[in-house]
Amino acid sequence: MKSKFPRYRVELITAESEDSLLVRHRRLIRFPQLTMPLLAAWTPDHWEVSHTDEIVQRVDFDKPVDLVGITANTPAAPHAYTLAREFRRRGVTVVIGGPHATLLPEEVDQHADAVVVGEGELVWPQLLADFERGELKHIYKSCALPDLKNMPAPRWDLIKGRVYGKGVTIATRGCPFACEYCTIPQMYQRRMRYRPVGEVVDEIKRMPGRALIFWDDHIGANRAYAKELFTAIAPLKRWWTSQCTAEVAFDDEFLTLAARSGCKALFLGLETISQASLNVANKRHNHATEYREVIRRFHAHGIAVQAGVVFGFDHDDRSIFRTTVEFYRSAGLDSATVSVLIPFPNTPIFKRLEAEGRILTRDWSKYNGKKDVVFQPALMSPQELLMGMEWAARRFYSLPSVIERMARSRTGLWWNIARNLGYHLALRNFGEVGFNPEGGEPQLDRQNENACRGAKHALTRRRTGLKLVERT
């Protein structure tokens, strides 16, 4: 018979280093990860669960708990190790899971009492039972993959902090593709899973507020499923967004049903306008020559496009920054997440670059895509890549560019303009440090003195220590 009172206490931590906090806060991220609310829901009743999301809360190392579970992506891994050390010093058992643990379980094992590789639903209860018996193993990896049926309601009551929206869920898990740089194929083993549509609908009905995010990796992976889902959620009158690949743009029924069901924007991993780079990255399902038409088709259905824009692929030369900004301005792209390429450990691209002697550092905190370049690019220096990315982001979100893009898009103008201005202001806070590498090293003049001081400072750093310099 179950005890009336909890006998064990577990603290779940969504790890976020100080460095990335700075970036994230300024980039206005409002919606939480699903990871820990979901893991909490899979925790047996006789465990009392608490949660700390480092984006909005500080870790309390003296909280009286029996076990700590940490989720960490690669840039947060070194910070997660520091957290683990502090807890273990106090005699608390630490378990680490998430993308980095899945990619490098042996490394993570050196910093934790147990590591969870891949998906947690099936192994987490088993791990807790082992802990209770004093038989914790080092590495847990599910033999079977969870089918996502009867997914419990995520414990949103554990999410604190006033900036957070709680309209977050998934309908599908996984992605059928295997892009060279992506972690998803390892995390979910390229096996797509779909929640029963009725269960997704019931969950959304219980969610507060109107806005909703599906953190799916490719919500259009199975078009028939997606269309059934969109039809079923349409009466709920939500405004939703998710992630997808570009080819769905050519399925008019998909776009019509998505729009009718309240889809306001989709994140598309367009990555680069160079088809040669897309081919090397094993992303042949993207056709760069179609991007303008892809964006036009989304707009025709009133759906905004947020593009993932990545610089640093092997065919990117110094002109890629300018040509990319020019292209997306003329195509009326609504918004973009601009980054440098990150070769995450143990992915195919990491192995290739490592074999070519092009990995510059294994300090995982630098694998952030925003502030550091961790590999030797093929056609420019790491400094040029970082500065070019900064320059391109700033040009993309400059006021003339926002006006031009909004005039061409005309999609959801009030919120789209607000979002663009948000990015514009966030970038302005960072101070101008980038430059267009096509023009060579920037010349100092009065207007861009600060910009160049930052850029020059960064240029003088060693390749492995490359770091953006904040405006002083």
* Contacting positions for ligand SF4 (CB under 6 A): 175, 177-179, 182, 184-185, 217-218, 245, 269
Are 116 and 97 contacting, i.e. CB atoms less than 8 angstroms apart? yes
Among 9, 22, 25, 34, binds ligand B12 (CB under 6 A): 34
Report the b/e string of 316-325 with b at 16+ CB within 10 A. Answer: bebebbbebb
Q: What is the DSSP string of 356-382?
A: TT-B----GGGTTSSS---B--SSS-H
Residue number with CB closer to ligand B12 (67 or 248): 67
The continuous run of DSSP H or E covering 188 comes out as helix 184-188
Query: Which CB atom, from 188 or from 397, has the smaller least distance to ligand SF4?
Result: 188
State the CB neighbour count (10 A cutoff) for residue 30. Answer: 11
Contact call for residues 75 and 17 (beta carbons, < 8 A): yes
Is residue 187 involved in binding ligand B12 (CB under 6 A)?
A: yes
Please count the residues of the chain.
Answer: 472
Q: Does 373 bind ligand B12 (CB under 6 A)?
A: no
Which lies closer to ligand B12 via its Cβ, residue 72 or residue 249? 72
Joined together, the tokens standing for residue 91 give 């005699």
Q: Which is nearer to ligand B12, 188 or 230 (CB)?
A: 188
Phi/psi at 95 (5° precision)? -120, 135
**Separation between Cα atoms, residue 7 and residue 45, nearest integer Å:** 10
Q: Pick from 65, 83, 92, 103: which binds ligand B12 (CB under 6 A)?
A: 103
* Contact between residue 217 and residue 171 where contact means Cβ atoms under 8 Å apart: no
71 binds, among ligand SF4, ligand B12, none (CB under 5 to 8 A by kind): ligand B12
242 lines the binding site for ligand B12 (CB under 6 A): no
- The span of 26-34, 194-202, 323-331, 419-427 binding ligand B12 (CB under 6 A) equals 26-34
- 271 token code pair: 């990555």
Q: Quick one: 286 or 383, whose CB is closer to ligand SF4?
A: 286
Q: Which residues pair with 97 in a beta bridge?
A: 71
Which of ligand B12, ligand SF4, none binds 100 (CB below 5-8 Å, type-dependent)?
A: ligand B12
* Torsion, CA 291, CA 295, CA 410, CA 230, rounded to 10: -170
Residue 100 within binding range of ligand B12, rule CB under 6 A? yes
- Binds ligand B12 by CB under 6 A, chosen from 67, 92, 98, 180: 98
412 touches which of ligand B12, ligand SF4, none (CB within 5 to 8 A by kind)? none
**Cross-strand partners of 115:** 96, 139
Q: Is 74 one of the binding residues for ligand B12 (CB under 6 A)?
A: yes
Largest CA distance in the chain: 77
Cα–Cα distance for residue pair 44/298, rounded to 1 Å? 44
Instruction: Kindly state whether residue 339 participates in binding ligand B12, applying the rule CB under 6 A.
Output: yes
Residue 69: which of ligand SF4, ligand B12, none does it interact with, CB under 5 to 8 A by kind? ligand B12
Judged by CB under 6 A, the chain residues 167 through 186 that form the site for ligand B12 are 170, 182-184
Q: Which residues bind ligand B12 (CB under 6 A)?
A: 16, 20, 24, 29, 31-35, 38-39, 55, 69, 71, 73-76, 95, 97-100, 103, 116, 119-121, 124, 170, 182-184, 187, 215, 217, 339, 344, 368-370
